[in-house]
Structure 1
Amino acid sequence: MSKPIRVAVIGAGAFGKNHARVYSELHRETQAGTLPQGTPGVELVGIVDSDTARAAQIAATHETRAYASIRELLAHGGADAVSIAVPTKFHRNVAREALEAGFDVLIEKPLAATLEEADEIIDLAAEHRRIAQVGHLERFNPAVRATIPLITKPMFFEIHRLSLFGPRALDVDVVLDLMIHDIDIILSFVAGEVVEVRAVGLPVLSQKVDIASVRLQFANGCIANLTASRVSTERVRKLRFFQPNQYVSIDYARQDVLVFTVNKMAQHTPNDGGLPQMPDVMPSKPPVVPEEPLRSEILSFLQAVQTRETPVVSLEDGRRALAVALEIQKAIEEHAERAHLDALTK
């Protein structure tokens, strides 16, 4: 058996805690010999955060060491791979230091704060020949994975992602916090580029946009309507799309897929009123094996680290989603100016 992959988590906030938990679980499974066959072994070697008290608390929970910096981690033996779960504005600098230290990296979404920073990370990963993956979690949702074989030509999306307000991820707006998940999924489902963006958004409980409604049009004619809110009274995470002869509904939270397919081959006779009958619509539910998306994401990353193959969600994928998200932000700003919303929200 190959040696376990030594991993560390950089950032001890809400996202970092979850990464540490999953790595710790995989560490224990490695020690117990209960990992699924073919899964790389894992050793959780540390938690890195400038808030040393917070890092120490999480490290103690998972029986590993706390470090105040990547430099300190390196001084005590380093790691093979790291999860970067710091605020978005620090992604570029932390990724640069990690890549230059020789670590493979899993970077939480969004990839960076700007396209220039994203390009720098892409160039650094190529220069240092490191595996680098972006944490677009919903790619690893079992319901999304079960939907991929069904895709033919999606032409219309209706997506809602609503969450309760909380203190996490307030360094970015709702587009980069929540909507970017669905942007990435749409881009992975639809062939072609986004050619038009219309959007409106408002800050409600924070200083940044907390609720947004967006309409994307693709070069092939596909339309996607997205709503994201982090000030809702309920939690909703649903994606629906229509393609020729088929309607598909995904519930991210329930990890459930429902498909309605029109049977064009069915024979129909007029009803008693002389009107044609409705075509046969066949409902079905593809099999979905429940699994925590973060665990699947991390296992996929570790597999790429072991095989040195391109990750499922590449840096280029992360950049593409970021580019669309930034276009949406621009459209929201332009709408706010046209509607004179600045004076109303001050």
Structure 2
Amino acid sequence: MLHVAVCGAGAFGRNHIRIYRDLEQQGAAASLAVPVRLAAIVESDPSRSQALHQELNVPVFTSIEDLLEARAQGQIIVDAVSVCVPTSQHAAVAAPLLEAGIDVLIEKPIAATREEAAALVALAAKNQRIVQVGHLERFNPAVAAMQDCLNGPMFFEAHRLSVFTPRALDVDVVLDLMIHDLDIVLSLAKSPVRDLHAVGLPILSGKVDIANVRVEFESGCVANFTASRVSTERVRKLRFFQPHQYVSIDYARQDLLVIDVSAAATGAAAGAPSTPAIPGLPAGLALQKPKVEPGEPLRLEIISFLESVSTRQTPRVSAEDGQAALDLALTINEAIAEHARRAGLDRFASPAIFRN
């Protein structure tokens, strides 16, 4: 049996707790190689920790140090931990867990700085621990279904828009939202970044709330990213072009659309009749809707983490993957800051009343 804990019981942490408890109660029906048990929670807020203890009847500790002390004394067993604290605390929480020989699932981004990320990667290697980074969209069923369609993508368009909430304001929109798409595109482009241009503005917080980035890879692949947390609508889409194909993913709807151009060309050459597959689509283009098995991405992510812990196999989103996504995100933030200095964008800074 794997004994797991959750550190941080805010919005993200509560979902981790819910899924671990659900997998525990499902037992063999959860289709896990090894059963799981929610063994403990770490939550520094006294009222929240007391409520969790009463609700779930599991030990709740106010600090990671207390959790590790109880484990050292044999009071609890902990094999793996979900780290769901604010980004600024990721390294401080994950490092002692790794030193203690505990595997960790760290919510994205892996850390707040390059130095912290490098230290966590080194600790994982030194202690032979599993580190999975919570880049949730890798586990989106539409992304899983897309894998069979890949054929050398060369142009990406990613849009991630959200309405403003006071959540995650310890980081900017690049580290909060755009990093999901950065991770996906890095995993698909499989090429070093050659150049990038970025612009971003603070709107309602003291950090950048809306950003647009153009990234060029050494392979010649180009990607455009737009992220906003001050939108009036919610959009989570990725589109890309590859030889003879256009692929569109709607993360929220878990929907995948493929338009095949080569099939149209073949049909035209053979004299086959062609009609528009959908309104507005030129005659001869072939439309496909690959089957997508619906599922909750976080549940799939946690199950994948538990399988890596039990089999000791490299996670689908490794510490090195998280490190690469963070490095690109921080490079983008540096480019945004440089552009703001050149363009004199201080006048767009949010009023002091909105600053953290």
Per-residue CA deviations over 1:302-325 (Å, capped at 9, x if unaligned) read 000000111110000000001110
- Aligned CA RMSD, in angstroms, stands at 1.6
For structure 1, the residue ranges without an aligned partner over 5 or more in a row are 272-277
Which of 284, 288, 311 is the matching residue for 2:288?
284
Does structure 2 conserve the Cα–Cα contact (< 8 Å) formed by 1:52 and 1:67? no
Secondary structure of 2:213's match?
strand
Matched, 1:51 2:52: no
Match for residue 160 of structure 1? Answer: 159
1:159 is displaced (CA, Å) by 1.0
CA positional deviation for 1:77? 1.7
Instruction: Measure the CA separation in 2 of the matches of 1:78 and 1:22.
Output: 19
Post-superposition shift, 1:55? 2.4
Which residue in 2 is equivalent to 1:82?
Answer: 81
Aligned to 1:105: 104
Farther off after superposition, 62-71 or 153-162 = 62-71
SS at match of 1:207: coil
Which stretch of the first structure deviates more once superposed, 147-156 or 288-297? 147-156
Give the secondary-structure state (helix, strand or coil) at the position aligned to 2:335: helix
How far apart are the structure 2 equivalents of 1:69 and 1:193? Answer: 39
Counterpart-to-counterpart distance in 1, 2:268 and 2:243: 19
Tell me how far apart the structure 1 counterparts of residues 55 and 142 of structure 2 sit (CA, whole Å): 31
Residue 8 (structure 1) aligns with? 5
Give the length in aligned residue pairs: 334
Is the partner of 1:227 in helix, strand or coil? strand
Q: What residue in structure 1 maps to residue 30 of structure 2?
A: 35
Q: How much does 1:216 deviate?
A: 0.6
Match of 2:334 in 1: 330
Q: How far apart are residue 279 of structure 1 and its match?
A: 6.8
Identify the residue that residue 302 of structure 2 maps to in structure 1: 298
Q: Deviations over 1:74-120 (max 9, x none)?
A: 31324000000111111111111111122100001001111111010
Please give the TM-score of this superposition, normalised by the length of structure 2.
Answer: 0.90
Structure 2 letter corresponding to 1:331: A
Mapped partners of 1:195, 1:55: distance in 2:
47
Identity of aligned residues (%): 57
Deviation readout 1:108-159 (Å, 9 max, x if unpaired) = 1001111111010011111111111101000000000100111111111111
Asked whether 1:26 is paired with 2:26, we answer no
Alpha-carbon distance between aligned partners in 2 of 1:287 and 1:225, rounded to the nearest angstrom: 27
For residues 213-254 of structure 1, give each alpha carbon's deviation from its aligned partner in whole angstroms, at most 9, with x where no partner exists: 111111111111111011111111000001110000000000
How much has 1:17 moved relative to structure 2? 1.0
What amino acid is the match of 2:107? Answer: E
> Counterpart amino acid of 1:173?
D
Q: Is the 8 Å Cα contact of residues 21 and 62 (structure 1) preserved in structure 2? A: no
Report SS of the residue matched to 1:34: helix
Detail structure 1 runs of 4+ shifted over 6 Å in the superposition.
none
Equivalents in 2 of 1:41, 1:302: separation in Å?
9
Q: Tell me which residue corresponds to 1:266.
A: 267
Q: Following TM superposition, by how much is the alpha carbon of 1:280 offset from its aligned partner in structure 2, in angstroms? A: 2.2
Unaligned runs of 5+ in 2: 274-281, 351-356
Kept after mapping to 2: 8 A contact 1:266/1:279: no
